[in-house]
């Protein structure tokens, strides 16, 4: 009878969730069945019909045993193991007591006190176990809750992480697009820059053409003139020889030899001008080669002067060349450096001519625009100075003159690339320096220092 | 009678060329040539004699410093009796008109046609004689 009640209690608890652990619906059904069986056994045992109630008592043992075995054997019910262990002594004492009572009632009655004491101990055990279990259960539940909280936190972190990853991915995509766009723009700009540089070269070639034509025409005239006069001289020589005048003949011969040297000299002169022109128009950056800096400065000063002279009939100016014979040979790109010279000399003539125009407008006619080109050997290499007595550069724009597209010339007169290209050629192309000194209204001096290679 | 002619050009080889071209005339003593390589030098030459012996100046136009046209004006101002003719590589009408308006006698273009130059000088010499 007591075991029936215990079974009922056990089944009831087995059915209930323990903390967060619940049992499946199947188990609940089984436990409900067990509870009905236990109730029936209790009922039958309670009627106290001899034999039948004894049978019920035995059945209650079986039921209790089934509950104990099932609970201990099934992993799904392991959380209730503690409960079973708590109840086990009471159950055992009761089984023993009731069994003895069934078999030998008088023996039981005689020893009943002992059974009751055993039952009391078993009960105390059960209480102690229950307290202990519930403590453990609470701790377990606490742990479980903590774990849940951690899991929740983890989930939140995870979702944040995913969100961040998506954002990063998005940003990366945007940045990549921007980067590609910028790269495109950059390559377009590079192409535009190359075109501009080419245009600037072509423009300066255009400026040169008149000077080049003049510079080639002059030596060609000499070649023609000296060969003509040589023909005349040789005819005369023939006459002199026929007349037997050897002394005069020798004189004529000397002249002819001189003339042939002159023809050769002027032929070479034309040749070097054509070569220089080709170098100037070459669109890729040329090779460095040993170059006579003095000859290059001389050549481009003349080209600049005659170019300006040919294009503007009213243009008059003086130029001076002070060349240091020690300046010698440097490894440079002649076409590029020539472009620098041309640019600076053209600017110098322009500035000096502007000042002349301003003074003329005021009625002062005595001013002579003058451009001077100096070369000088210095310890680190060669220094080239291009100076003019023109209107100078105002202090506030001195910083800007090497910037691309900066020009003070009227629209259409300058690309604004000349000085910036010159700067690049001297500094990047040749590892040199270029600086400017100017006094507004008085002078401008550009100084280029080229290192020995 | 000897005619003295001044030739102004910044190309120094011009002297050799002229001396050879007028070799016979120089040898015979009918012609004397002198040379200047800039406008300033030409004026110095003319200033060195009083009155200048030079009767004819042939000047290039394109020279560094004083241009031939400026020289022409200066000579015509100070020595109106001296003939001045221009010799230029740039035979455009602008130069031509400016030269003629300033009193140039003739305008020769480079390359110099020595035959016409000789004719001009010959005419001068026969005029003098």
Q: How confident is the model at residue B85 (pLDDT cuts 50, 70, 90)?
A: very high
Q: Which two tokens mark A52?
A: 């039948």
Q: Is residue A353 part of a domain?
A: yes
- Number of domains chain A is built from: 2
Residue A53 in any domain: the answer is yes
Report the alpha-carbon distance of residue A276 to residue A212 in Å, rounded.
10
Backbone angles phi, psi at A402, to 5 degrees: -90, 0
**Distance, in angstroms, between A196 CA and closest chain B CA?**
32
Q: Please name each of the domains of chain B with its CATH number.
A: 3-128 (3.40.50.2300)
Q: How far apart are CA A103 and CA A151, in angstroms?
A: 58
Cβ(B87)–Cβ(B59) below 8 Å: yes
**CATH number of the domain within which A355 lies:** 3.30.565.10
B92 contact residues in A (CB cutoff 8 A): 313
Q: What is the mean pLDDT of residues B52-73?
A: 89
Instruction: For residue B111, say if its preceding peptide bond is cis, omega within 30 degrees of 0.
Output: yes
Residue A413 contacts B, CB cutoff 8 Å? no
Residues A263, A222 contacting (CB under 8 angstroms): yes
Helices and strands per DSSP (H, E), number in chain B:
6, 5
Out of A141, A156, A171, pick the residue that ends a domain: A156
- A234 is a domain residue: no
For residue A245, count CB atoms less than 10 angstroms from its CB and return exposed for 0-12, middle for 13-18, buried for 19 or more.
middle
Contact A317 B16 (CB under 8 A): no
Q: Is the dihedral of CA B92, B93, B98, B102 positive or negative?
A: positive
Do B112 and A217 make contact, defined as CB atoms within 8 angstroms?
no
- Asked whether residue A184 is assigned to any structural domain, the reply reads no
d(CA B111, CA A155): 98
CB-based contacts of A279, cutoff 8 Å, min separation 6: A286, A334, A335, A338
Structural domain containing residue A129: 2-156
List the single residue in A229, A306, A309 with the smallest CB-CB distance to B21. Answer: A229
If we measure between CA atoms, which residue out of A112, A81, A110, A83 comes closest to residue A96?
A112
Question: Residue A235 domain-assigned?
Answer: no
Residues 239-298 of A with CB under 8 A from B: 255, 258-259, 262, 266
- Return the residue of B nearest to A306 by Cα: B62
Q: Any chain B CB within 8 A of the CB of A313? A: yes
Q: Which of A105, A132, A156 is the last residue of a domain?
A: A156
* Contact flag A222-B94 (C-beta cutoff 8 Å): no
Q: How far apart are CA A50 and CA A44, in angstroms?
A: 11
Answer yes or no: do B65 and A310 touch at CB < 8 A.
no
Residue A237 in tokens: 């020589």
- Quote the distance between the C-alpha of residue A284 and its chain's center: 29
* Interchain CB distance below 8 Å, B64 and A224: no
Q: What angle (nearest 5°) sits at the alpha carbon of residue A322, between those of residues A318 and A325?
A: 150
Q: Which of A156, A180, A200 lies at the terminal end of a domain, its last residue?
A: A156
Determine contact, residues A330/A382, Cβ cutoff 8 Å. Answer: yes
Measured between CB atoms, does A221 come within 8 Å of chain B? yes
* CA angle centred on A10, ends A9 and A11, rounded to 5°: 90
Q: Is residue A385 part of a domain?
A: yes
Provide the residue-wise pLDDT of chain A in tens; the chain has 453 residues.
777 888 888 888 888 887 667 888 888 898 899 889 888 888 887 887 777 878 888 888 888 889 889 888 888 888 888 888 888 888 888 888 888 887 888 888 888 888 888 888 888 988 888 888 888 878 888 888 899 999 999 999 999 999 999 999 999 999 999 999 999 999 999 888 888 877 777 777 777 777 777 778 888 999 999 999 999 999 999 999 999 888 989 989 999 999 999 999 999 988 887 877 776 666 555 788 888 999 999 988 988 888 888 777 778 888 888 999 998 899 998 888 988 999 899 999 999 999 998 998 888 878 889 999 999 999 999 999 999 999 999 988 888 888 877 777 776 666 677 888 899 899 988 999 999 999 999 999 999 999 987
Looking at the predicted structure, is the pLDDT value of residue B129 above 70? no
In a domain, A250, yes or no: no
Residue A429 lies in a domain: yes
One domain, residues A300 and A443 = yes
Predicted local distance difference test score (pLDDT) of residue B74: 93
């Amino acid at each position: 009878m007591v075991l029936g009640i215990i079974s009922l209690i056990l089944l009831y608890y087995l059915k209930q969730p323990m903390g967060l652990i619940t049992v499946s619906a199947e188990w609940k059904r089984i436990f409900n069945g067990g509870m009905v069986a236990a109730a029936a056994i209790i009922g039958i045992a309670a009627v106290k019909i001899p034999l039948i109630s004894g049978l019920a008592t035995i059945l209650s043992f079986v039921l209790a045993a089934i509950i104990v075995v099932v609970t201990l054997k099934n992993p799904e019910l392991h959380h209730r193991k503690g409960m079973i262990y708590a109840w086990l002594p009471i159950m055992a004492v009761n089984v023993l007591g009731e069994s003895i009572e069934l078999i030998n009632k008088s023996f039981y009655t005689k020893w009943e006190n002992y059974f009751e004491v055993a039952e009391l101990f078993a009960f105390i055990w059960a209480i102690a176990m229950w307290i202990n279990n519930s403590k453990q259960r609470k701790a377990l539940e606490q742990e479980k809750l903590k774990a849940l909280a951690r899991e929740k936190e983890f989930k939140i972190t995870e979702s944040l992480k995913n969100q961040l990853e998506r954002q990063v991915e998005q940003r990366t995509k945007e940045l990549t697009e921007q980067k590609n766009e910028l790269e495109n723009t950059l390559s377009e700009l590079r192409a535009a820059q190359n075109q501009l540089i080419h245009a600037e070269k072509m423009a300066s070639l255009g400026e040169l053409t008149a000077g080049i034509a003049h510079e080639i025409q002059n030596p060609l005239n000499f070649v023609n003139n000296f060969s003509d006069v040589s023909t005349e001289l040789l005819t005369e020589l023939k006459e002199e020889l026929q007349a037997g005048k050897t002394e005069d003949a020798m004189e004529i011969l000397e002249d002819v030899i001189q003339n042939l040297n002159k023809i050769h000299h002027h032929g070479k002169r034309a040749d070097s001008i054509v070569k220089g022109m080709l170098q100037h128009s070459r669109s890729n950056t040329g090779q460095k080669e040993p170059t006579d800096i003095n000859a290059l400065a001389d050549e481009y000063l003349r080209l600049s002067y005659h170019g300006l002279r040919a294009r503007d009939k009213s243009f008059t100016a003086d130029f001076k060349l002070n060349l240091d014979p020690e300046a010698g040979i440097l490894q440079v790109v002649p076409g590029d450096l020539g472009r620098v010279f041309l640019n600076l000399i053209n600017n110098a003539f322009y500035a000096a001519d502007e000042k002349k125009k301003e003074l003329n407008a005021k009625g002062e006619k005595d001013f002579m625009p003058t451009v001077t080109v100096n070369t000088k050997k210095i310890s680190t290499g060669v220094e080239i100075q291009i100076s003019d007595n023109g209107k100078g550069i105002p202090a506030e724009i001195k910083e800007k003159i090497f910037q691309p597209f900066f020009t003070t010339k009227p629209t259409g007169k300058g690309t604004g690339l000349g000085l910036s290209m010159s700067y690049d050629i001297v500094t990047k192309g040749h590892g040199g320096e270029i600086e400017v000194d100017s006094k507004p209204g008085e002078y401008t001096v550009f100084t280029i220092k080229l290192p020995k290679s | 009678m000897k005619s003295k002619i001044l030739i102004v050009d910044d190309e120094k080889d011009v002297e050799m060329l002229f001396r050879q071209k007028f070799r016979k005339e120089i040898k015979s003593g009918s012609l004397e040539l002198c040379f200047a390589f800039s406008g300033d030098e030409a004026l110095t030459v003319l200033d060195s004699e009083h009155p200048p012996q030079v009767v004819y100046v042939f000047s290039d136009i394109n020279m560094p410093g004083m241009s031939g046209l400026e020289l022409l004006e200066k000579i015509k101002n100070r020595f109106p009796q001296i003939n001045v003719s221009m010799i230029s590589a740039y035979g455009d009408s602008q130069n031509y008109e400016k030269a003629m308006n300033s009193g140039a006698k003739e305008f020769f273009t480079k390359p110099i046609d020595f035959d016409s130059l000789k004719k001009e000088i010959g005419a001068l010499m026969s005029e003098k004689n």
